[in-house]
Structure 1
Amino acid sequence: MKYQAKKKALILLADGTIFYGKSVGDKEGTAFGEVCFNTGMTGYQEIFTDPSYFGQLMVTTNAHIGNYGTNKEEVESESVKIAGLICRNFSYEYSRPSADASLQDFLDSNDLFAISDVDTRALVSYIRDNGAMNAVISTDVDNIEELKKQLEKVPSMEGLELASKVSTKEPYFYGDPSANIKIAALDIGIKKNILRNLEKRGAYIKVFPYNATFPEMSSWNPDAYFISNGPGDPEPLSEAITVAKEIIKTDKPLFGICLGHQVIALANGVSTYKMHNGHRGINHPILNLLTGKGEITSQNHGFAINREETEANDNLEITHVHLNDQTVAGIRMKNKDVFSVQYHPEASPGPHDADYLFDDFFSLIEKTSKQSTEV
């Protein structure tokens, strides 16, 4: 069987620490990226295809990966976005009736290198203590010094602009053209399920590339704007930040998720910073300060906005905080219909704890449209 042909493999971290494992199948390979971990028990296919994970080596903390196979409908983009996969036990066979392929077939078709048989508990514990860092996974276990030299050339995630790597090249439409609501979405790494959530609430969406200008977006005369999630450091996204500033001036509703949340903060003069580890998983606890309710959320980000600067900003109000570390998880502008969150409401891990955010967005759109009609 395939799993009997495993080759020796290793994980070499930027600080020189090495963990060992085996290749998935009989594939030889090498992959570089920032190593990070996700605590979700399920959803590996969605994780692998999430543009926000572009360029990262994903460590899955769940001990078994691949046991329910893959389904072509359960993707968040057109291709795998992670740089490589690191897991404990890789399941070559699957048992879910609705699956249409094994995870190995899915990874092979996307040319993704993966390694298994890794002590992921030890690896994750090490990353927790020492922080996310660049790493390489490889079957070239006898050439460690050469791998170290190559790893030194891999750019740090801090200061790295990646939206251009995952954004659409040309504008496209999503949804029913006859819908009453038009939303212009800036794609800096958008997930398909976000578009599905906007569509099912009655919106027709035009998705614009990461470097679209405000005149280009506004010429479509949308009822509202959306800035998506995405990978990399938000601070280099000067074009997106400029677009956010211009949108805010229009008084039309604006909603941002994750990277979009950070872009909106930067547009308001609040800085961002790279986190020690980031938040990645489907079980992160959030406190809604407006309602006092707790939410179980899906998260995937390695950067956050500065809380002290947010609290000192007269135009902003913190609406959500992460209960594990008190980082800012949501903001809104006091005199504008602008809000954002540092998690993924479209993922519905609660299963529907954060669904209301899309409803809130559409309520703002309806209110703005009514006011325009009355004027």
Structure 2
Amino acid sequence: MLEDGSVYEGTARGDFKETACEIVFNTSMTGYVEILTDPSYAGQGVVMTYPMIGNYGISREDFESERLQPSAFIVHELSSDPSNFRCTDTIENLLKEYNIPCISGVDTRAVVKKLRESGTMRGVLTSDIGDRERLMDVIKSFRQIDLVGSVTAKQTKVYGEENTGAEIALMDFGTKRNIINNLVKRNCIVTVYPSFTSADEIIKTSPDGIMLSNGPGDPSECVDIIKEIKKLYDYGIPTFAICLGHQLMALANGGETERMKYGHRGANHPVKFLNEDRTYLSSQNHGYMVNGKGLPDNAEINCINVNDKTVEGIVYHGKPVFTVQFHPEANAGPRDTAFLFDRFLKMAAEGRYDD
């Protein structure tokens, strides 16, 4: 049941229980394991538009974090008979293991049509639709609080200790593992810091570069984090930010963010690099955006979304800092923009941005 009172029926699957959440949709045809383990989905019920989910089973090698992250999973058909040489279990067993409720048999395209027309809504999964007034109270009282704090690392951890390349400090707001993997395979030593780490603590380690990760929730609520990011920006350490990190960097420099009508969540979003006059396909997962207002004079919007012209990338001239709204690490999705990790490491070595 959505907050406008509309009801969609299906079959209880996974670890079903009454659950309120924000209802969003993803248009990817594959990559459901990566989607389910992406911390950016914390507090959300994910509707998959592709009609069959689970047909290639699950492999824990594809996890983007240590556990499943959404509050609920909503599909048209949930496969119980997967076939793939990497498959180790069914998706339903995985949902049960991590206590995630699921509904199958739902007309997911009708749900998506509703969300596209009316915007993202809160909703509730329930097995009893009798008392609609009570359910509406449950929906209206649903709030998402400190989502970044719920998914960030609890302590510092180092990856790629045996490497000999750049030392990168990664601020974890809900990072996906493939961000770390992309740096480690480029010979970096990556130190992952909890979101509550102070700028001074990072600066004193003298990293070659800083990465600001993706993550869930409304960026404007991360007031303390934004203050620390501004200190890092002013200090001038080469910085590359992705998704939520991109939004936080804009806010730290006077920019504005706003909630999107229904967000970008999928693996085929076209992004135009204005200085190159080239367009790349990208993986995206966000419900907020930088609207371009209030940015400092040295901030250049260098990437836009081809579909709706929203901001997808910013370069901060005079500082070795650039940010993108999309996911160059993909997983799932195209790897067209993975070269941005190489651009970041070149910037870390030279101390300046060069596109």
TM-score (norm 1): 0.91
Of 77, 88, 92, which residue of structure 1 is paired with 2:76? 88
- 1:63 aligned to 2:48? no
Contact 2:163 2:187 in 1 (8 A): no
Q: CA deviation at 1:352?
A: 2.5
- Residue 28 of structure 1, CA deviation: 4.0
SS of 1:189 mapped into structure 2: coil
C-alpha deviation, 1:179, in angstroms: 2.1
Q: Is 1:193 the counterpart of 2:182 in the alignment? A: no
Residue 139 of structure 1 corresponds to 127
SS at match of 2:36: helix
Checking the alignment, whether the CA contact within 8 Å between 1:329 and 1:343 is kept in structure 2 is yes
Give the counterpart of 1:301 among 286, 305, 308. 286
How far the C-alpha of 1:350 sits from its partner, in A, is 6.5
Partner of 1:266: 251
Distance 1:149 1:351, change over 3 A: closer
Q: Which residue number in structure 1 is paired with residue 154 of structure 2?
A: 169
Structure 1 residues 238-291: Cα deviation after superposition (integer angstroms, max 9, x where no partner): 222122211112222001000000011011100101111110000101101121
How far, CA to CA, are the matches of 2:279 and 2:338 in structure 1? 13
Distance 1:301 1:28, change over 3 A: closer
DSSP 3-state at the match of 1:265: helix
1:6 is aligned to none
Contact 1:53–1:81 (8 Å) recurs in 2: yes
TM-align CA RMSD: 1.5
What is the Cα deviation at residue 105 of structure 1? 1.0
Q: For 2:111 and 2:87, how far apart are their aligned partners in 1?
A: 30
- Mapped to 1, the partners of 2:343 and 2:128 lie a distance apart of 51
> Does residue 15 of the first structure (1) align with residue 4 of the second (2)?
yes
Deviations 1:52-88 (A, max 9, x none): 0100000000000011100011011001100001110
Deviation of 1:172 after TM superposition, in Å, equals 1.0
CA distance in 1, matches of 2:260, 2:167: 35
Compared CA separation, residues 350 and 34, structure 1 to 2 (3 A): closer
Residues 341 and 28 (structure 1), Cα distance of their counterparts in 2 relative to 1, 3 Å cut: closer
Match of 2:137 in 1: 149
CA distance in 2, matches of 1:54, 1:349: 17
1:133-162 CA deviation, whole Å, 9 max, x = no partner?
11111222334332222222102x6xx531
Instruction: Measure the CA separation in 1 of the matches of 2:240 and 2:178.
Output: 15
Shift of 1:177: 4.2
> Which residue is 1:112 aligned to?
100
Q: Point out where structure 2 has 5 or more consecutive residues left out of the alignment.
A: none
Deviation at 1:348, TM superposition (A): 6.2
Give deviations 1:166-214, integer Å, cap 9, x for gaps.
0011111111244231111111110000000011111111111111101
Q: 1:292 aligns with which of 263, 274, 277?
A: 277
Q: Distance in 1 between matches of 2:293 and 2:125?
A: 38
User: How many aligned residue pairs are there?
Assistant: 352
Equivalent position SS for 2:287: strand
- Gapped regions of structure 1 (runs ≥ 5): 1-11, 370-375
Aligned partners of 2:293 and 2:254: how far apart in 1?
12
Write out aligned runs for 1:23-102 (5 A). 23-24=12-13, 28-102=16-90
